[in-house]
Structure 1
C-alpha cells in the first residue's frame, strides 16, 4: 500500500509516495530546524551546545549557564528593572494601560485589563551585524 504525503519539504519535493503498511508506521522525513516561514530556530539546548563547543565546557555546565542568564533576566524584568547588556541590547518592561475592546463574536464592549510586556531594543553592534 502507498500513501501520498503532500509536502513542500526540501527532503521530499512537492509530492511523494511512501511505502507503508499503515499510517502509524509511515516513514516520515526528519523535521527541519526551522519554523513554517523557513527561518532557523535556536533553542536553549542548541545555544548551550554552541557555548560548550566554543568555550570548552561541558554541555551540562553550558546549559546551567544559559538557564541562569535567562532566569536572571526574567527575575529582573519581573521586578520592573531595565536590563542592559553591553553590545547586545536592552530589555525594558512596558506597561499597557487598561482599554476597551470588542468581542468579535457578539460585538459587545469588553474591558481589556492592563498588562506588562517585555520589549527588546538591540544595540548598535547587533543592528550592524544583522544589516551587513
Structure 2
C-alpha cells in the first residue's frame, strides 16, 4: 500500500478533499519520521510499536570478494505488531 492509496482511503472514509487527505497522511508520517530520527520510539495503540535500535560495529564479509570488512555501527528501526493487530491478521488468514 502506498501513501497515495492511504490518502485515497482517508478521502473516501472521512470525506475530506483529496488534497487535505494527502496532507494529513504526509503530516502523520512526518511526525513519526521526526520522532524516530530523534531516537524516540513510536507506539500506535492497537497497531504496533516502532523502535530505534543501535547496532554495534561487527565483522562481516564482502560477498563478492570474500574479504573481511568491518560493518560500521548504525541505528535501525524495528517494528513489533501489537497483540490486537496480530489477532486480526490471524483471523484474516483462517
Output the TM-score relative to the length of structure 2: 0.91
After superposition, where does 1:105-120 map in structure 2 within 5 Å?
Answer: 105-120=64-79
CA RMSD, 1 decimal: 1.0
What is the match of residue 43 of structure 2? 84
What is the match of residue 30 of structure 2? 71
What is the rounded CA distance, in whole Å, between the counterparts of 1:52 and 1:98 in structure 2? 45
Give the one of 22, 26, 51 matched to 2:10. Answer: 51
TM-fit CA distance, 1:101? 1.1
What is the rounded CA distance, in whole Å, between the counterparts of 1:43 and 1:60 in structure 2? 15
TM-fit CA distance, 1:130? 0.5
What is the rounded CA distance, in whole Å, between the counterparts of 1:107 and 1:56 in structure 2? 56
What is the rounded CA distance, in whole Å, between the counterparts of 1:49 and 1:69 in structure 2? 15
**Once superposed, which parts of structure 1, at least 4 consecutive aligned residues long, lie more than 3 Å away?**
none
Structure 2 counterpart SS, 1:131: helix
TM-fit CA distance, 1:105? 2.9
Which structure has more helix as a fraction of its residues?
Answer: 2
Q: Quick one: higher RCO (CA 8 Å, sep 6+), 1 or 2?
A: 2
Structure 2 gaps, min length 5 = none
